[in-house]
Structure 1
Amino acid sequence: MPSAFQQSVIDEFRANAGKVGGPFAGTDLLLLTTTGARTGKPHTTPLGHVRDGDRLLVVGSNLGAAHHPDWYHNLLARPAVQVELGDQAFPTIAVPAEGPARDELFARVVAEAPGYGEYQAATDRALPVVILQLPDPRQPAPEITSLAGKLTEVHTWLRGQLAQVHAETEAHFAARSAHRGAGAPPPPGLGLQIRQRCLAFCQALEFHHRGEDGHVFPVMEGYHPHLRHAFDRLREEHRSIAAVQSALAELLADVAIAEPDRFRAELARMTEELTAHLDYEDAEILPLLKDVPWPPVP
């Protein structure tokens, strides 16, 4: 739960399209909602930010304390977050910067907000710099009127995220292979950006399949009992994909992915199974949902 002071800032922010008074008057604020690492409950925190092109930078300063703030631990466990900026709200994936990129971005933040330099001087830990990608204004969300449209949106997002994880992973391996001794080689572990995106993808996929198994499939079976074999196949595929997700989750448990070659192999295995699964679901399930309204009618 936020403190009484934090809650007053949150309430004022939401009531005034992001503008607040008092000690934060004139400050660039956003609201970051994370999911509790242990509780699974949403937690909203007002944070200062610095805009860097099409992304926002927030710093885990914790006022210079010796430990990272709770919201930072939350986003390491559950990278999918919700951002409120002015009167805009959007989901994104929180990615901490690392290495020289972190140092460069922290210098960018301090140049605009020198107080963060004072917080860094007060503690031995490197203050985390977290990147929050802004939505692309050129790609407005499509209007969705049916459950088929919603499922298509989810499948498109899953395919896109999986493709991005693959691209980032292969770029990492290519950089390692291309190293010929000039300068420091890329670290053997995979980067935080890959970890955060893959973890968010796995968690979203688990949520999606749980919703299908618990709600969508039982309802559709009632209307289409002759397709019971198709729903049984999809449930079995969910179990198979979940087993691969568990293996990936084990590798993603630490901030540094210590076994990148195993990660690469597991990612390839899940990609093959998931792609075939989504293709089958598109062919068998989407036609049944085209006349089901979305959002659901009360």
Structure 2
Amino acid sequence: MPHAFQHSVITEFRANAGKVGGPFEGADLLLLTTTGARSGKPHTTPLGYVRDGRRLLVVGSNLGAPIHPDWYRDLLARPTVRVELGDEEFDSLAVPAEGARRDELFARVVAEAPGYADYQDATDRLLPVVVLERPEPEATAPLIASLADKLVEVHTWLRGQLRHVHDETEAHFAARAAHGDGGAAPAPGLGLQIRQRCLAFCQALEFHHTAEDGHMFPTMEGYHPQLGHVFERLREEHRSIAAVQSALAALLADVAIAEPDRFRAELARMTKELTAHLDYEEEHVLPLLAEVPWPPTPPAS
């Protein structure tokens, strides 16, 4: 899609709550914003989609070209993407489907949009089908009134994502053990679902700790110099956890996680160290943040 035309589609989409004219009039269209694998800059692409329950399916067709589109390579490097759908906007985890599941979802897409079959016929490349997860609706969103509340929200998300990765990894090993008893063989290596979720978790954790080291901790230490030993311990734990992150990142460098047993061991180390770190931080830091309003109060003009 030429850059100028793509830009005009994006502008029209945002101005009309997802409705566009021209060749896309009446089509199911979303905007996918990925982070450049090399540049680190955001890139927005209009894409057709098909619904699969609450999830959204997009196909890396690249109009049948022999190489994957840039947005697909981006999301393999940085799985957290931004989706604009009508007048909605939300963050999503992007996970390419694998094996029989990919074939099943591609058939579903083709049933609604037959043109994708023509794109597949035009190339020897297997067109990837990417599942975009939508956030689950919250019955009652917790009230975020202080910086302490915000920190708890972030920690809760990190714990939840780590638990998801752990549960999916253990399910893989359980399937592998069952195969030894004559059960169905598990997928080779560890699946893209585990890789994408773990990579997104590691990137979010790195961002969180960098923000704490660069902004929150120095500011708090200025107000509470008597707690210098607490902040030094937290910074040291950040360095230790970063080493585990690096080990996990090395195992996630390829699409397939080639060393499942080593990955499982590093994940267990991450779980142990991060859980103890978050518990210590909440014990010593949360009381200091309980009276700090969130969002921050804008300065008086």
TM band (smaller chain):
over 0.9
Counterpart mapping for 1:93-108 below 5 A: 93-108=93-108
Report if the CA contact (8 A) 2:178-2:184 is conserved: no
C-alpha distance in 2 between matches for 1:181 and 1:99: 23
Hey, what does 2:47 align to over in structure 1? 47
What code does the residue aligned with 1:25 have? E
Tell me the residue number matched to 2:272: 272
- Find the counterpart in structure 2 of residue 196 from structure 1: 196
1:14 counterpart = 2:33 = no
Residue type at the aligned position of 1:239: R
2:232 maps to what in 1? Answer: 232
Query: Which residue is equivalent to 1:169?
Result: 169
Do the aligned partners of 1:188 and 1:260 also contact (CA within 8 Å) in 2? no
Report the count of equivalent residues. Answer: 298
Amino acid at match of 2:205: L
Counterpart position of 1:123: 123
Structure 2 match to 1:249: 249
SS in 2 for 1:46: strand
Counterpart residue number, 2:153: 153
Question: TM-score under structure 1 normalisation?
Answer: 0.97
1:213 aligns to 2:213 (yes or no): yes
SS of residue matched to 1:179: helix
Q: TM-score, normalised by structure 2?
A: 0.96
Distance 2:273 2:59 in 1: 38
**Closer, same or farther: CA 223–58 of 1 in aligned 2, 3 Å:** same
Give the superposed CA RMSD. Answer: 1.5
In structure 1, what is the Cα distance between the partners aligned to 2:83 and 2:138?
Answer: 19
Secondary structure of 1:58's partner? strand
Letter paired with 1:233: R
Which one-letter code corresponds to 1:216 in the other structure? M
Match of 1:223 in 2: 223
8 Å CA contact 2:175–2:184 kept in 1: the answer is no
Secondary structure class of the residue paired with 1:127: coil
C-alpha change, 1:33 and 1:20, in structure 2 (3 Å) is: same
CA distance in structure 1 between the aligned counterparts of 2:168 and 2:110, rounded to whole angstroms: 29
Q: Report % sequence identity.
A: 79
Q: Deviations over 1:151-200 (max 9, x none)?
A: 11110000000000000000000000001475762234100000000000
d(CA) in 2 for partners of 1:251, 1:115 = 37
Alpha-carbon distance, 1:56 to partner = 0.3
String of CA shifts for 1:120-170, please: whole Å, max 9, x gaps. 010001100000111222446434222111111110000000000000000
Q: Which runs of 5+ in 2 are unaligned?
A: none
